[in-house]
Amino acid sequence: MGYPIGGPKDEESPVVEKTSPSNFSTEVKGGKVNIYFNEFVQLKDINEKFVVSPPLDRKPTVNLRGKSIYVDMGDSLKAHTTYTLDFADGIADNNEGNPLGNFKYVFSTGKELDSLSIQGHAVNAFTNLPIEKVQIYAYSNHQDSVPLTTIPDYVAQTDTAGHFNLSNLKAGTYKLFALVDGNRDYKYNGPGEIIGFLDTLLTPAAQTFQKLDSITPDSSALRTYTAFSPADLHINLFEEENPLLYLTKFNRSRREKLDFEFSYKRTDYLKIDILDIEDDASSFLIESNSTRDTLSYWFVDSNIYKRDTLIAVLNYLKTDSTKQLVSFSDTLKLNFKDPKKAKQTKKQTEKAKIKKPVFEFKSNLKSIHDLNKSVEFEFNEPLSSFILDSIHLVKMVDTLEVAVPFNFVKDSALLRTYHMNVKWESETNYRLDIDSATFENIYALKSDAFTKKFKTKELEFYGKILLKVEHVHQPVIVQIIENNKNESLVQSKKIYADGLLTFDYLEPKTYIIKIIEDWNDNGKWDTGNYNLKLQPETVHYFRKEIKVRSNWDVEENVVISHEH
């Protein structure tokens, strides 16, 4: 007794047996196409993968009919035009889902088939990774406004490798634009959509040449080939910075604090006026996050924060309907009510310990500390003052405790973050003692005592990369990045000329090198802008894995290529 095994697994893709009209037909009338297969097929994500070039006035319909596919393009086909129906890998067999592959159906409403093409690939400008389903648009109209206002003359879509092929083009000169077209309207709608563009116009061409090919070991034939160009275009895709500045959210998360969130990073501070209260610049402290799109106000004056309701008049820069930054005034009502406490019996109240409020902080200290890192303190509320003599750092030398010098400084950007900078010794035991009441916040709360024993890593634990960089023609940022999914940034250096860089204190891990051409010398990567004809700053990846081992120097050499 047994069970039927069902035969071998179907691993063959469906085969096109016939098309009506025939593929590559000319003088086609009407917009209806039937494609017949040798087996039943299915459509996979066809709405996303199916592309008609040139685009039609209305979206064509694609339907299954037994072992065939029926496409209705309506009655708006243009005369003397070659159309390409690109199904990509959206057709598969019905049993095992084996894809047909990149299937295209081509026909012309005129007497000839246009045959020129433009090929290339599109990648994310910051990661250099390919992007799938990017629409590539070609325009015979070369005005700068066409991506914003006009449906393109030809369209193609990138595959999983970011490759595209604008095929069956008429002879002419074209402007190219790339778009992740979220709403499928064939137009760029401004920041929020991912775009790319070329700085130059393109004239596709075809060149024929002959080559001797071997037919058998003893004979050869002269064959004619056609090479199409351009065939290796590179388009960097980016998202423009959103220049629209407006208030997105505000709240009073605690009695003493107001939070304001904006759509975009701010270059100015808010001007805030609390109605019916006399206040000045000393009444509050301003805190900004690292991206400068959130501003917080910490009220120092209890006459202000003790009120359950505050009416605040905000004056700040905001984008108006003409996309210009203008001064704007906004009146907001900010309420806060203390949370209700659960009722307790008299016995519970007597037993409950009265918890005295303290000024709290956290640090990055662990049992083993890195030799190249400071001790970082983050306070839960703004610090008002501290007693430096109440902070004690000692190292253990045999049975002795030796005081260690340090400096204690505020972070240059973050209001509630401070750093203890120390010249650490390798593989040494330390103890940090902070007396009670060392730190006091703006509400006169003092900190508790703090003590932490820890040890520094041994110098031999770390490895080193000695990196020779060549062909540096403008400011560049050289980064060492962990070779993982998140590409965690480990170290970064900026250089202006060829040279040898030393990246030390590296944990034994696998790294890769990333180089950013910092054209405007501002120390960071900048995106592009279509209206200003600015390309995103070029990023180079050297994806060769660099394996760093403990107590080992790795020498590497990178040459920056200025061509794609």
Q: What is the mean pLDDT of each run of 10 residues along the chain (564 residues)?
A: 60 89 93 93 90 92 92 92 93 85 92 96 95 96 96 96 96 97 88 92 91 73 85 95 86 92 81 81 86 89 89 88 85 86 61 76 96 96 96 94 96 95 97 97 96 97 97 96 90 97 96 96 94 95 94 95 70
In a shared domain, residues 75 and 147: no
212 domain-assigned: no
| Per-residue confidence (pLDDT) for residue 242, from 0 to 100 | 77
Question: Which residue type occupies 187?
Answer: K
220 domain-assigned: no
In a shared domain, residues 259 and 323: yes
How far apart CA 238 and CA 529 sit, in angstroms, is: 9
In a shared domain, residues 469 and 536: yes
Token couple for 519 = 């054209």
How far apart CA 319 and CA 377 sit, in angstroms, is: 37
397 domain-assigned: yes
| Per-residue confidence (pLDDT) for residue 105, from 0 to 100 | 96
Which residue is it, tokens 């275009």? Answer: 233
In a shared domain, residues 532 and 451: no
Report how far apart the first and last C-alpha atoms of the chain are (Å, whole number).
65
269 domain-assigned: yes
Q: How far is CA 117 from CA 4, 8, 49, 106, 156, in A?
A: 51, 41, 20, 13, 11
351 domain-assigned: no
pLDDT digits (tens, 9 = 90+) for 225-260: 888 899 999 999 999 987 788 899 999 989 999 999
238 domain-assigned: no
CATH (domain of 454): 2.60.40.3710
Question: Given 418, 442, 459, which residue is the final one in a domain?
Answer: 459
Question: Given 317, 335, 353, which residue is the final one in a domain?
Answer: 335
| Per-residue confidence (pLDDT) for residue 518, from 0 to 100 | 97
pLDDT digits (tens, 9 = 90+) for 4-37: 665 556 568 899 999 999 999 999 998 999 999 9
- Torsion-angle region of residue 46: left (phi > 0), alpha (psi -120 to 50) or beta? alpha
For 370, which DSSP code? -
Beta-carbon count within 10 A of 84 CB = 22
In a shared domain, residues 184 and 270: no
Domain that holds residue 330: 247-335
How far apart CA 474 and CA 330 sit, in angstroms, is: 45
Task: Spell 253-291 as b/e; 16+ CB within 10 A means b.
Answer: eebbbbbbebbbebeeebebebeeeebeeebbbebbeee
Query: Model's pTM, two decimal places?
Result: 0.82
How many structural domains is the chain composed of? 5
In a shared domain, residues 378 and 397: yes
Listed residue (487, 544, 485, 483) closest to 508, CA to CA = 483
133 domain-assigned: yes
219 domain-assigned: no
| Per-residue confidence (pLDDT) for residue 302, from 0 to 100 | 87
In a shared domain, residues 191 and 274: no
In a shared domain, residues 134 and 201: yes
CATH (domain of 320): 2.60.40
In a shared domain, residues 420 and 373: yes
| Per-residue confidence (pLDDT) for residue 78, from 0 to 100 | 93
Which residue is it, tokens 């009506």? Answer: 20
Give Cβ neighbours of residue 144 (< 8 Å, ≥ 6 apart): 531
| Per-residue confidence (pLDDT) for residue 11, from 0 to 100 | 67
How far apart CA 165 and CA 125 sit, in angstroms, is: 20
CATH (domain of 500): 2.60.40.1120
How far apart CA 466 and CA 128 sit, in angstroms, is: 24
Which residue is it, tokens 């900078």? Answer: 421
Question: Which residue type occupies 325?
Answer: L
* Torsion (CA) 71, 72, 76, 82 in degrees, nearest 10: 20
The string of DSSP codes covering 345-357 is -HHHHHHS--PPP
Q: Facing residues of 216 across strands?
A: 219
Which residue is it, tokens 């690939």? Answer: 121
Q: How far is CA 269 from CA 297, 299, 310, 332, in A?
A: 11, 16, 20, 17
CATH (domain of 103): 2.60.40.1220
How far apart CA 295 and CA 268 sit, in angstroms, is: 10
Question: Given 444, 459, 474, which residue is the final one in a domain?
Answer: 459
